[in-house]
Chain A
Amino acid sequence: MIYKETGQYKSSYKSDHAIFPLLQDKIAFSTLMFIAFLIIPFVINSYWEKAILVPFLIFSLAAIGLNILTGYCGQVSLGTGGFMAVGAFSTYKIMTYFPDMNIMIIILISGLITAAVGIIFGLPSLRIKGFYLAVATLASQFFLVWLFNKVPWFYNYSDTGQITVSERTMFGIPVTGAEAPSYATYLFCLVLVVVLSFAAKNLIRSKMGRSWMAIRDMDIAAEIIGVPPLKTKLSAFAISSFYIGVAGALYFAVFLGAIEVTESFDIMTISFPVLFMIIIGGLGSMLGSFLGAAFVVTLPIGLKFLMVDMVGLSAVTAKHFEITIWGLLMIVFLIVEPHGLARLWSIAKEKLRRWPFPY
């Protein structure tokens, strides 16, 4: 009864095809945006920024990117960390060569560079599928990290091999570097995430998204109705890599500030967690990308609170338990709800629709 769609008639195909076709969804989304843009910036502190909100936004973007490739186009990829590293190092190099360029433009160009790299590493997908493709993309992960480690040009010949961000401003307020206030980094990420999410959703609900899903579900039939497999798969790799590259650029420039490639873009710290995000959140679902990112970012914090602060375990023991619980959760999710949190949400909506009646 609460989530009632009865009586909401659609009188045009346009309103039927809207992103939020139901009034309740529209209200919920507007409220969320109101809180995100007009309340959080005034109450945010450094802890919320560094531990929860900014990583959540950045990983949402990476999860959307991987979801486009894996969830919508059906091409499994384990190269997320490598592609994020491309975004980060592109940002660093562009910053070095163009000290006056606006940070927003730098980050978008880094995304485009990552898209180009993504196309190159997407070429094997034309011949191989499934697990075999996952192994091929794994190669891109190891190769790219190795490259940024081995070629000193990428880290400007610094002794440590670290890259460090310099201060950049938007409208006179620093958004990168140590001086950047919490609300500025948060808002900067938020704007990018909101704009790029809408772009992704629009792509998914129009021609491009349908071509991707056609290739995912039945590539032979897709070819017969005139979807070119080559172009479609590579476009998925390009657009997915663009999102992941922007996420990598933000991860370096806005979130961490200084990185060392083997540590920050390792397969265990990026590629697998982002894959978990889309599996836990829901493959082929925009909402799932956000839910998965939120889950993966907040779970360690929640577990630490529970085990260290409540139960009183030592931090090291808690960390070990955390990894174990991770593995356990992964298995539980794959067995109980392979379609992820997004499916749980749609089941909940179904229940709300009928509540309080039992049928």
Chain B
Amino acid sequence: MSLADLKKIPYGKTAIELKNISLAFGGVKALTDVSFEVKKGEVFAIIGPNGAGKSSMLNVINGFYKPTSGTINFAGIDRSEMEPELAAKSGIARTFQNIALFKGMSTLDNLMTGRLLKQKKNFLMQALYFGPVAKEEEEHREKVERVIDFLDLQSIRRTPVGSLPYGLQKRVELGRALAMEPEILLLDEPMAGMNVEEKQDMSRFVLTVNNELKTTIVLIEHDMGVVMDISDRIVVLDYGKKIGSGLPKEIRNNKAVIDAYLGVSDD
């Protein structure tokens, strides 16, 4: 499989286009005929009630689920499915709804795993650990230290992440994704379970990444205040179907969306 080069796509043009994606697990239809596109450099939000298929959508984008039908156009190349490794190599990083950190490793090591794909020296050289390997380690360590500085993780550099509080774990997970220097960052409920200050911090990090590094962000979030504030465009899913898409202010006044969230009265 050839590697799509996302870097060549100009900002504001389509980075990922999902065409008529359907996903079924046996009789359960998780997604039905969903189409949308993500433009390079934007903050794109996927919202919807619980069980709407939002996380499944992210899993399709980074190749963890294979859609039953439909095509994924990634950086101009049509595919029927993605592979996780290919997605990682083409610059898609993600975080998980239920934190998926490497619990036995320190914060530093967790972030260093984000650099694994970029470390090229083979295992014999690693076993000897002479010049070039040590130099490569240092280069990547420097990149990781920048992420640590950005996310204020200095004090927990050596702490095993399993013993960190929830909010910090979420932040370390964002750090691991950032250490991959992604072109597209998929965030699955980055603010779930956080208090207002933590949400503000997290929103600030997300916006800074988007502004400074020009990283495209695809975000799932339940906090409507946050979503309406930080996203450029929104798509709404309900029962695996797309029920609306557009700018935040359009979504806010969309009848179908309001019905999905608040329920429809019978009369």
Contact = CB atoms under 8 A, between A and B. Distances in A.
Interface of B, helix, strand, loop or mixed by DSSP:
helix
A127 B96 CA distance: 23
A225 B105 contact: no
Interface residues of A, number: 31
Contacts of B87: 224
A203 B105 CA distance: 15
Contact of A207 (B96, B101, B126, B142): B126
Given A224-B62, A224-B84, A206 B133 contact: yes
Nearest to B59: A224
A284 B114 CA distance: 21
B104 A217 contact: yes
Contacts of A45: none
Interface in A223-245: 223-228, 235, 239
B1 interface: no
Contacts of B128: 199, 202
Contacts of B96: 221
B109 A210 contact: yes
A64 interface: no
> Which interface residue of B89, B104, B134, B180 has the most chain A CB atoms within 10 A?
B104
Given A225-B176, A228-B85, A208 B62 contact: no
Chain B: interface size category = 35 or more
Interface residues of chain A: helix, strand, loop or mixed (majority):
helix
B129 A213 contact: no
A335 interface: no
Given A13-B137, A210-B109, A213-B102, A223 B85 contact: yes
A320 interface: no
Contacts, number: 101
A214 B113 contact: yes
A211 interface: yes
A210 B104 CA distance: 11
Nearest to A215: B102
Given A208-B126, A224-B100, 16 more contacts: A13-B141, A206-B121, A206-B129, A207-B121, A210-B113, A211-B116, A213-B102, A214-B116, A217-B105, A220-B64, A224-B62, A225-B88, A225-B176, A226-B116, A227-B116, A239-B123
14 contacts: A13-B142, A13-B145, A200-B127, A202-B127, A205-B129, A211-B116, A214-B105, A216-B104, A218-B102, A218-B103, A223-B64, A226-B116, A239-B123, A284-B104
